Chains A and B, each alone.
Chain A
Amino acid sequence: MSTAATKTSASSTSSRAASTAFRTFATVFAITTPILYVICEMANWPLFTYHPGTNRIDFGWAPAVRDEGPAMHWYGWTANTLIGAALLGVAATALPDRVTSKIPLALVWIVPLAAIPLLIYALRFFWRW
């Protein structure tokens, strides 16, 4: 095999490998994001709490402070979710292809849909008549 052909073959293989790794990362990221988000929301596990009235940020969950306005946890839930999903996605790329190729791709849209009823239930406080 010529040098050029060897380089092309190596480049193609490398590109395909990178693509497979990205697919694994993105698949696991998409599947775990709704799961982690529902857990963070229902268990109220924000990475940080933002107090918009005073622009203060507390690490983890913190209650609203009297006379200082509300506390916001959504930013912290989102941060926790994205960091957790990214870590799981990166970890999944270390698994062999024969394992990751068995992950059903349909889960990337089924899991987010399944999360919706849970989130509606989590918001039951607001469904008052």
Chain B
Amino acid sequence: MDALLDYVSVNTFWTILLIVHGLLAVALLGALTHQAVSVLMPVRQVAGMPSFVTRFRAVHGAGYASAVCFLWIATFIFGAWIYSKYRITIRIPIEQEGFWKTQGAFEMKEHLASIGLGLLPIYWYFWRNARNADYDGPRKWLTACLAAMGWYMFLVGHVVNNVRGFGS
């Protein structure tokens, strides 16, 4: 890492990490949302030209499972890396400004990210056995939970970045 810092400033380095974290999160959110919608509102039968929403719902959910696991772990690793910088340069000013609820919401995001890690193996197993009807219920609701967690984490990360993130 020291060699890299010969070419880019410290601020640029952390900004790159934040952007990579954000891009991974966008990809994760897209995959999880597609998958969650496909299990919560599955397409039964399409008459005529399918609408955008129908096509959005009609994805093959099982094809996203491995990507979701990879993206969750990769996003987590980058987030955990940035968190050490955040703790000093972001959280302290946020507390000094009195944005307590913003800080609390961010702490909750960290909690959900860790808990989500523990759900990935069974999530992957359920989708690997997507034809097993015994897993339909838990697969559906676990996917919905992970998608809701992903949306919460994404939005809170976005708000915290607006409060004091990129460029501050």
Residues of chain B within 8 A of A127, CB atoms compared: 100-101, 104
A123 on the interface (CB 8 Å rule)?
yes
Q: Is the CB of B100 within 8 A of A41?
A: no
Q: Is the CB of B125 within 8 A of A81?
A: no
One of B84, B100, B111, B125 near A37 (C-beta < 8 A): B111
* Number of residue pairs spanning A and B whose beta carbons lie under 8 angstroms apart: 102
Chain B interface: which of A3-11, A68-76, A92-100? A68-76
Given contacts A27-B122, A81-B114, contact A106 B88 (CB under 8 A): no
Q: Is the CB of B80 within 8 A of A75?
A: yes
Q: Is the CB of A33 within 8 A of B145?
A: no
The 0/1 profile, CB within 8 Å of B marked 1, for residues 47-85 of chain A is 000101100000000000000011010110110011001
Q: Is the CB of B115 within 8 A of A120?
A: no
One of B118, B122, B124, B134 near A82 (C-beta < 8 A): B118
One of A27, A70, A105, A106 near B87 (C-beta < 8 A): A70
Q: Is the CB of B104 within 8 A of A34?
A: no
Interface size class of B (residues with CB under 8 A): 35 or more
Given contacts A77-B114, A81-B118, A109-B145, contact A52 B108 (CB under 8 A): no
B103 on the interface (CB 8 Å rule)?
yes
CA A46 – CA B155 in complex, angstroms? Answer: 27
A26 on the interface (CB 8 Å rule)?
yes
Q: Is the CB of B104 within 8 A of A123?
A: yes
- Interface hits, B83-107 → A, CB 8 Å: 83-85, 87-88, 91-92, 100-101, 103-105, 107
Per DSSP, chain B at the interface is helix
Q: A26-B124, A109-B141, A113-B145 known; 19 other A-B pairs, CB under 8 Å?
A: A23-B122, A23-B125, A26-B121, A26-B125, A27-B122, A70-B88, A70-B92, A82-B118, A106-B137, A106-B138, A109-B119, A109-B138, A112-B115, A115-B115, A119-B108, A125-B100, A126-B100, A128-B100, A128-B101
Which residues does A use to contact B, with CB under 8 Å?
Answer: 19, 22-23, 25-27, 29-30, 32-34, 37, 41, 50, 52-53, 69-70, 72, 74-75, 77-78, 81-82, 85, 105-106, 108-109, 112-113, 115-116, 119-120, 123, 125-128
22 chain-A/chain-B pairs, Cβ below 8 angstroms: A26-B124, A29-B122, A30-B121, A30-B122, A33-B117, A33-B118, A33-B119, A37-B111, A37-B114, A37-B115, A52-B85, A74-B114, A77-B114, A108-B138, A109-B141, A109-B145, A115-B115, A116-B112, A119-B108, A126-B104, A126-B105, A127-B104
